[in-house]
Amino acid sequence: MQIGTTVGEFIIRQQADFPHATGELSSLLSSIELAAKIVNREINRAGLSHHILGSMGQTNVQGEEQQKLDWYANEQFKLALAARGEVCGLASEEEEDFVAFDPLQGRHSKYVVLIDPLDGSSNIDVNVSVGTLFSIYRRLTPVNTPVQLDDFLQSGRAQVAAGYIIYGSSTMLVYSTGRGVNGFTLDPSLGSFCLSHPQMQIPTQGRIYSINEGNYLKFPAGVKQYLKYCQAIENDEGRPYTARYIGSLVADVHRNLLKGGIYLYPAGSNAPQGKLRLLYECNPLALLIEQAGGLATDGQTPILDLPPQALHQRTPFYAGSRDMVLRLQGLLAEHG
């Protein structure tokens, strides 16, 4: 696949490898791409259009202050996904319950989508990278029946596709359909996402650790031990490692995916199960990281094997370069 391939062409070529593919997943991915461009346009000029900056003046179901762009992005993805008919329902970080889409005439919508429409939203007002995360599943209940909660509560292994958009110094779309991870950079002059990072692989060992160390006193003992290891001076092993934490999960994981590193959001930081949401944040990133050769766990169990019980369920999240995650898991097993 040569550089210059647009994401649209890429999706069609991949689909050609599946003789029975109907094109529905391709169409769904195109809806996400379109919504991403609309959200990107708004984020790019957020500093100029102050009506879009700042808080909605209300909290969302997560107990967080909802930003205007959280809401705007949620609406754009919802509209784009509802318009084409491949998706029968959506669950979002910004919505208390899942949203069932009205069936379109003659369409047998067989997919559900889960999204974090704007990740790192507290960073918008200060012009720091933010993202969108998405996760796609085949519904479990029969087509043309009302979509049910169980359709959304599937373990991450069942994802048909997942990805993120990072609105950074460049805007990128990174996704996987379970056959590797590919990254596409938006060429603003063309308005197209072009293949720039084919078959991404995360180094098995890195030198970056990413954690909100302000919560140090509440970390499990194993995490404290791991931080001590990262900070120890062992020149021949390249330690101390480098601390990098943007506070936008997508941006922190994207950097570590490219350079090698580990991202940690432990339990106990500000909630017994940590902060990050299993269905909207951890599952899509875990699929990408595993597909790129890394690991993503809750400290013991692969994220993708966790059985979800509720839409807004949280989980500890440790993800990145394989050898780093394995060492951390060893320390968690030893020290708790």
- The binding site for Mn ion (CB under 5 A) comprises 64, 93, 116, 118-119
The option from Mn ion, ligand AHG, none interacting with 290 (CB < 5 to 8 A, set by class) reads: none
CB of 196 or CB of 248, closer to ligand AHG: 248
Residue 209 identity (one-letter amino acid): Y
Q: In angstroms, what is the minimal distance from the CB of 84 to Mn ion?
A: 23
Q: Can you read off the two tokens belonging to residue 219? A: 């970390």
Q: What is the 3-state secondary structure (H, E, C) of 268-326?
A: CCCCCCCCCEHHHHHHHHHHHHHHCCCEEECCCCEHHHCCCCCCCCECCEEEECHHHHH
Which positions from 233 to 272 touch ligand AHG by CB under 6 A, shown as an x/- string? --------------xxx--x--------------------
Minimum distance between the CB of residue 208 and ligand AHG, rounded to whole angstroms?
A: 15
* Residue found under tokens 């078959």: 199
Q: Is 95 in the site for ligand AHG (CB under 6 A)?
A: no
Q: Establish if 37 lies at the interface with ligand AHG (CB under 6 A).
A: no
Specify whether the CB–CB gap between 243 and 227 falls below 8 A: no
- State the nearest-atom distance from the C-beta of 279 to ligand AHG, in Å: 12
Q: Which is nearer to Mn ion, 36 or 118 (CB)?
A: 118
First-to-final CA distance of the chain: 46
Amino acid at 123: N
Site for ligand AHG in 317-336 (CB under 6 A): none
- Nearest distance from C-beta of residue 237 to ligand AHG, angstroms: 28
Give the residue with the Cβ less far from ligand AHG, 24 or 119.
119
Among positions 265-294, residues that touch ligand AHG (CB under 6 A) are 275
Task: Find the DSSP H helices in the chain.
Answer: 7-16, 24-44, 68-84, 149-152, 221-231, 249-259, 283-291, 322-335
Q: What is the footprint of ligand AHG within residues 168-227 (CB under 6 A)?
A: 212
Which residues, numbered 106-165, are part of the site for ligand AHG (CB under 6 A)? 116, 119-121
DSSP H or E segment with residue 201? none
Minimum separation from the CB atom of position 312 to ligand AHG (A): 11
Q: How far is CA 88 from CA 112, 138, 281, in A?
A: 6, 10, 21
Orientation of helix 24-44 relative to helix 7-16, angle to 10°: 160
Q: Which does 275 bind (CB under 5 to 8 A by kind): Mn ion, ligand AHG, none?
A: ligand AHG
Cβ neighbors of 54 (< 8 A, separation 6 or more) are: 67, 68, 125
Binds 24, which of Mn ion, ligand AHG, none (CB < 5 to 8 A, cut-off by type)?
none
Q: Is 6 helix (H, G, I), strand (E, B) or coil?
A: strand
In terms of CB distance, is 70 or 151 closer to ligand AHG?
70
For residue 145, the minimal CB distance to ligand AHG (Å) is 31
65 binds ligand AHG (CB under 6 A): no
Task: Give which of ligand AHG, Mn ion, none residue 125 binds (C-beta under 5 to 8 Å, depending on kind).
Answer: none
Among 64, 65, 95, 187, contact with ligand AHG (rule: CB under 6 A): 64
User: Which one, 119 or 290, has the nearer CB to Mn ion?
Assistant: 119
- Taking phi over 0 as left and psi of -120 to 50 as alpha, with beta for the rest, 202 belongs to beta
Strand partners, 116: 133
Q: Give the footprint of ligand AHG on this chain (CB under 6 A).
A: 64, 93, 116, 119-121, 212, 247-249, 252, 275
